[in-house]
Chains A and B, each alone.
Chain A
Amino acid sequence: MTQLVWNGLFVGSFYALVALGYSMVYGIIKLLNFAHGDLYMLGAFTGFAVLGAAGGVTSAAALPLLLAVLLATMVITGLAGVVLERVAYRPLRGAPRLSLLITAVGASFALEYGTRAVAGADPRVYPVRLGGTPLEVLGARLTLQQLVLTAVAVVLMIGLNLLVTRTREGRAMRAIALDPRTSALMGVDVNAVISRTFFLGSALAGAAGVMAGAYYGKIDFLMGFLIGLKAFTAAVIGGIGNIPGTMLGGLLLGLLESFGTFWLGGEWRDVFAFGVLILFLTVRPTGLLGERVTERV
């Protein structure tokens, strides 16, 4: 039982990290950024390239080195997110919602097949792997590396939450989420804040990408697709636009998958997990912690 919970939480923390970017962007400019899963993929490949450039490393130095690579990748993926927003989304800011959605799908394809053109269609394998010695905790088998990865994910999420709720920057973000025009009138630089939002969301996705690459080992240009969908789902369960809700949503989805597999077998996992979600959303359409959207004219 504890093993199932741990499996679910571990996978769920990846979903949550990726879902946060979805949720933030949606919360602020009401855009479903379908290219977000591909930023996760881009992060995995960036980490791969950075590690390759760093050259041969011993496994003893693997963890600190990976943390350095993680930071570098977060910056690079974050900037990629900013560029994406500038090129693909900002010019359409006033356009109908549907055009933006299609642009996002287009951006997703461009990132996937652009990566394929550069890095090839073959899957790549990370040069540094987090294998690690297994520990027994309360009957669950886990590794130190898994704990470190989960801890990193939690630290990133808490950091993000603090940033959004406690800082000036976060206040600007929330203000834009409520009403972009009034925020602009109050002197908030809307474009700059949206850019920074994309930076943060993309950096988190990039971090998840590097962590997945280092832990699972295999990366390929389509790896962002499935997790993008899952993260989107997680964001909706948690209440899209709500940061703590999104984190909970990610963990919940991971747990549902883990228990679904256990109770009904692998074939029925997605049927179970998504069936529960549909039921849940019919009861509570705004998600776990989402607030009822007030009608604004």
Chain B
Amino acid sequence: MRATPLKSLASLTLAVLLLAGCGQGLLGGGDEAATGEGPIVLGMLIPQSGSEAAIGPYMSNAAQLAVDEINAKGGVLGRTLQLKTADDACDPQSASAAANKLVTEGVHVSVGGYCSGATLPTLPIFGRANIPMIIPAANSQELVDQKLKHVFLINGTGSQQAEAAQKWIAKQGAKSVALMHDNTSYSKDIAVRAQGLLGDQVVITEAVTPKESDYSANITNVLAKKPDFVYWTGYFQEGGLIARQLRQAGYEGAIMVADGAVSPKLAEIAGDEAAEGVYATMTQTPETLRGAENWIAAYKKKYNADPGPYSNQSYDAVRLAAEAIAKAGGTDGTKIIAALEAVDGFPMFSGPLRFTPEHTLANGGFQILVVKDGAFTLQDPLQ
């Protein structure tokens, strides 16, 4: 917050530079880049600092793995792929600055985007440069509501997630549901959609202030309505604290979190006891993928660590970008977008890919995970 004036000044300067560049450099050089030699550059905005920094490496490592594999097979159209990452810090201002940086560095396709709130302001920045965006993780409905031609989501959307949540809540036979969100684009989106689906079952929708430590006031509010199911739709840091403080306040019903809170850190923050049995609505993770053993082994070999949330989606985003560039016969943004729209049955971890007219997945692929011994494991594929 304090950094805002400084950062917005920086992004303004960048934007001005960029506009100046557009006048001569970028537009004039566009043809050359589209047909020219040299590597094809994929840009990736991920949180490398700030509250969500833990997710960044899971995404960039997996993307780099895909890039290396494709290059080992001869690259795309005879050119090598190159991955450029930039830090969006899960913050709109930093994300705008980072997106501008990637654009000036001449990326051809964007394959990043984790926090919806931070990804949202980057849409027009990539759009102006006609750079297609394959967004692996961010999934607020707001990202596709503007119907931008260059934006494609390969993660299930907020409404698909809310549907999965509603199915599981019905299956559990819960009667009174409390929704908790943190007022960010991503979080509120799911809560509002879940509220729409659940109707009268929702006894309270409580907004919390992110980045605090004490949520006891909010929890007192929630528990006063005696819910038997609490659904937290924000991120893992607050998720861990809320799960812990709910249990400390004597709440014994079910707790579920949305995909932004699926992280090994959640259980660590909540403590094993409070985290045990916490459900999550989540798309495919490396742990729940079937037939992904070779991929997991390759990842482990390269990074000496396990893949994590959104590793598989990031890996798929790079593969999909390469496929679309190959089909388009070059790096012209318009042709790549046409190629992405025409994709039918491209094999991904989430299943064969086809985009809806809104550029989202036809099937979100959400499933229910549960924390067992401190780790998220598959509870119900909801098929």
- Residues of chain A touching chain B, judged by Cβ–Cβ distance below 8 Å, are 3-4, 7-8, 10-11, 14, 105, 108, 116, 120-123, 125, 129, 131, 134, 141, 143, 212, 216-218, 220, 222-223, 225-226, 257-258, 261-262, 265-267, 269-270
Contact = CB atoms under 8 A, between A and B. Distances in A.
Nearest to A129: B271
Nearest to A44: B213
17 contacts: A3-B220, A4-B217, A4-B220, A11-B216, A122-B54, A123-B237, A123-B269, A125-B269, A131-B271, A131-B273, A134-B248, A143-B248, A216-B241, A218-B240, A223-B213, A226-B209, A269-B209
Contacts of B240: 217-218
A220 B268 contact: no
A225 B211 CA distance: 9
Interface stretch (B30-38, B43-51, B159-167, B316-324): B43-51
A122 B53 contact: yes
Nearest to A123: B237
B363 interface: no
A122 B308 CA distance: 15
Contacts of B208: 266
A222 B2 CA distance: 12
A264 to B, nearest CB: 10
Contacts of A8: 217
Contact of B237 (A3, A4, A220, A269): A220
A217 B269 contact: yes
B206 interface: yes
A261 B271 contact: no
Contacts of B248: 131, 134, 143
Given A11-B214, A267-B183, A217 B241 contact: yes
B244 interface: yes
A228 B269 CA distance: 22
Chain B's interface size range is: 20 to 34
Contacts of A258: 216-217, 220
A-B pairs, top 5 by smallest CB distance, nearest first, are A121-B53, A261-B217, A266-B207, A216-B213, A267-B207
A131 B183 CA distance: 28
A269 B213 CA distance: 15
A266 B212 contact: no
Interface centre among B49, B211, B212, B214 (most CB of A within 10 A): B214
A141 B217 contact: no
Given A11-B216, A212-B213, A220 B271 contact: no
A162 B104 CA distance: 61
Chain A's interface: helix, strand, loop or mixed, by majority? helix
A186 B244 CA distance: 55
Given A122-B265, A226-B212, A261-B221, 13 more contacts: A4-B220, A7-B216, A11-B214, A120-B53, A123-B265, A143-B248, A218-B213, A225-B1, A226-B211, A262-B217, A262-B220, A266-B208, A267-B207
Nearest to B220: A3
A280 to B, nearest CB: 20
B223 to A, nearest CB: 9
Contacts of B217: 4, 7-8, 11, 257-258, 261-262, 266, 269
Contacts of B176: none
Nearest to B204: A265
B211 A222 contact: yes
A164 to B, nearest CB: 28
A7 B213 CA distance: 13
Nearest to B89: A121
Interface in B202-261: 206-209, 211-214, 216-218, 220-221, 237, 240-241, 244, 248-250
Contacts of B50: 121, 222
Contacts of A257: 217
Contact of A121 (B49, B211, B249): B49
Given A217-B271, A222-B211, A270-B209, A265 B221 contact: yes
Given A141-B249, A223-B213, A270-B209, A218 B48 contact: no
Contacts of A123: 51, 54, 237, 265, 269
Contacts of A105: 2
Interface centre among B49, B212, B217 (most CB of A within 10 A): B217
B51 A265 contact: no
Contacts of B249: 141
A218 B271 CA distance: 10
Contacts of A217: 240-241, 244, 269, 271
A136 to B, nearest CB: 10
A265 B206 contact: yes
Nearest to B265: A123
Nearest to A3: B220
Interface centre among A218, A220, A267 (most CB of B within 10 A): A218
A4 B208 CA distance: 16
Contacts of B271: 129, 131, 217
Interface string B262-281: 00010011010100000000
A258 B241 CA distance: 17
Interface in B295-349: none
A216 B237 contact: no
B320 to A, nearest CB: 29
A257 B221 CA distance: 12
A269 B209 CA distance: 9
Interface centre among B49, B53, B216, B273 (most CB of A within 10 A): B216
A270 B250 CA distance: 26
Nearest to A4: B220
A226 to B, nearest CB: 6
A3 B207 CA distance: 19
A229 to B, nearest CB: 8
Interface string B48-80: 111101100000000000000000000000000
Given A225-B2, A258-B217, A261-B221, A218 B209 contact: no
